[in-house]
């Protein structure tokens, strides 16, 4: 099972919107609505930002949103803020033998 493909980096100015793509296959992202997104700051554990493609856990700002089309999931950060800088990983359920496959990670930089 290969890792999901994400852009290595994206950047934006404060207040702008950025979108991170997460491309998988028909065996993972394309087959299940169990895509999640994680934010990770240096030296910290990942934090769940989006689950079940588009749902936000309590406490996650509504400027974070998720979607999916075919084999590609996306995370959009609207109204970018300085504290949104960090690494973002997508993850998908991939069937009976691979419960979780992570993406290659995207570094978000706030200019």
Partner 1 sequence: QLQLQESGPGLVKPSETLSLTCSVSGGSISYSSNFWGWVRQPPGKDLEWIGSIYYGGSTYYNPSLKSRVTISVDTSKNQFSLRLSSVTAADTAVYYCARQQPRGALVVVPAAFDSWGQGTLVTVSS
Q: Contact region for partner 1 (CB under 8 A) — 14-22, 66-74, 77-85, 100-108?
A: 100-108
- For tokens 């993406």, name the residue: 103
- The 38-77 contact track toward partner 1, x by CB under 8 A, reads x-----xxxxx--xx----x--------------------
Beta bridge partners of 77: 18, 64
> Nearest distance from residue 15's CB to partner 1, in Å?
29
Count of CB atoms situated within 10 Å of the CB of 41: 12
By CB under 8 A, the residues from 20 to 39 that bind partner 1 are: 34, 36, 38
> Nearest distance from residue 102's CB to partner 1, in Å?
4
Phi, psi of 25 (to 5 degrees): -135, 180
Q: How far apart are CA 49 and CA 60, in angstroms?
A: 6
Q: How far apart are CA 32 and CA 27, in angstroms?
A: 8
Residues in contact with partner 1 by CB under 8 A are 1, 3, 34, 36, 38, 44-48, 51-52, 57, 89, 91, 93, 96-105
């Amino acid at each position: 099972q290969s890792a999901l493909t994400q852009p290595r980096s994206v950047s934006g100015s404060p207040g702008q919107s950025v979108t991170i793509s997460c491309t998988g296959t028909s065996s993972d992202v394309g087959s299940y609505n169990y895509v999640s997104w994680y934010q990770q700051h240096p030296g910290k554990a990942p934090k769940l930002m989006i689950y079940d493609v588009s749902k936000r856990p309590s406490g996650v700002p509504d400027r974070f949103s998720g979607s999916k089309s075919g084999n590609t999931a996306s995370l959009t950060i609207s109204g970018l803020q300085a504290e949104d800088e960090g690494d973002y990983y997508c993850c998908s359920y991939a069937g009976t033998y691979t419960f979780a496959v992570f993406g290659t990670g995207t570094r978000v930089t706030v200019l």
